[in-house]
Amino acid sequence: MTYFVHPKAICETSAIGTGTRVWAFAHILAGATIGANCNVCDHVFIENDVVIGDNVTVKCGVQLWDGLRVEDNVFIGPNATFTNDPFPRSKQRPKQFASTYLRHGCSIGGNATVLSGITIGRNAMVGAGAVVTKSVPANAIVRGNPARIYSYTASIKPVPLTGKPEVDDKLKSSSLSVQGVTLHRVPTFEDIRGCLVAAEMEKEIPFVPVRFFIVYGVPSTQVRGEHAHRKCHQFLICIQGSVQVVVDDGNNRQELVLDRPDVGLHIPPLIWGTQYRYSPNAALLVFASHPYEADDYVRDYDTWLALEKAGK
């Protein structure tokens, strides 16, 4: 065999990749498929309709039930719990179990509970003890019961997340580490009567807007955005309160706090954008270069990643 099975393990399948290790008291049923270079630790149970990719780690005390799909480089912490039937009844087996997906590179913390029929996105991280009741977007860090987005993971290439942007008063624009994304200073006029922010469309904004919308009244636990555009440019200004914005070009990811009405963020097409942690009074003004077109939105992270890399 090109893989290792401990003498005290029960392994009924031969669909196991090269270099995988199955340790003591694990039990793998005949229909399961396990990729290469995986590590299945003590007291793990894997049911028939389970597919596991390459380089996956399954720590002790985990049960993987029918309908679970685990992509490459996933980490499953000790005693993590998965379900596959939203309405379980003794001796009543559903016609088909719900499918749950753990996407490439995600991590499930110890003692976390993941309900059935949801997706844990690419590179996402589920905190220890979290109860995940809804799908988790790519790169998100969730924790708590029910699990809520706390933050986002660092860049694919180790570029640290930025904090509140410091914009020089004399600087009209500055480039970020994410390709094509720029931070702009919008002219401000201040006197004894108060402050005024004003912009000429073709001068301060790097495109001519044809549409605008305002996002406000967002509960702090909710996330907006989570998409890219095929053609549309966007220019974001937080005119009141604060909101955190994550931008991602597939290689670099950066996070900023928008909390000044004289600072605008330009997000060009094919950049993945996410807004979260809205303050209670936040109002986000967005200028767009194109009319609303449903087909211009790319809402699936893996689909966008393929498009973005093809575009490069």
The span from the CA of 93 to the CA of 147, in Å, is 28
DSSP state of 295: G
Under a CB-based contact definition with an 8 Å cutoff, are residues 212 and 286 in contact? Answer: yes
The span from the CA of 299 to the CA of 293, in Å, is 13
Taking alpha carbons only, the member of 65, 63, 41, 68 closest to residue 52 is 68
Could you say which of 27, 43, 104, 227 is catalytic? 227
The span from the CA of 132 to the CA of 114, in Å, is 5
Interacting residues of 135 by C-beta distance below 8 A, sequence separation 6+: 118, 119, 120, 121
Under a CB-based contact definition with an 8 Å cutoff, are residues 22 and 12 in contact? Answer: no
227 is catalytic: yes
Strands 224-229 and 272-276, by their bridges, are antiparallel
Where is 171: in which H helix or E strand?
A: none
Under a CB-based contact definition with an 8 Å cutoff, are residues 154 and 161 in contact? Answer: yes
Under a CB-based contact definition with an 8 Å cutoff, are residues 46 and 27 in contact? Answer: yes
Beta bridge partners of 174: 183
Active site residues: 227
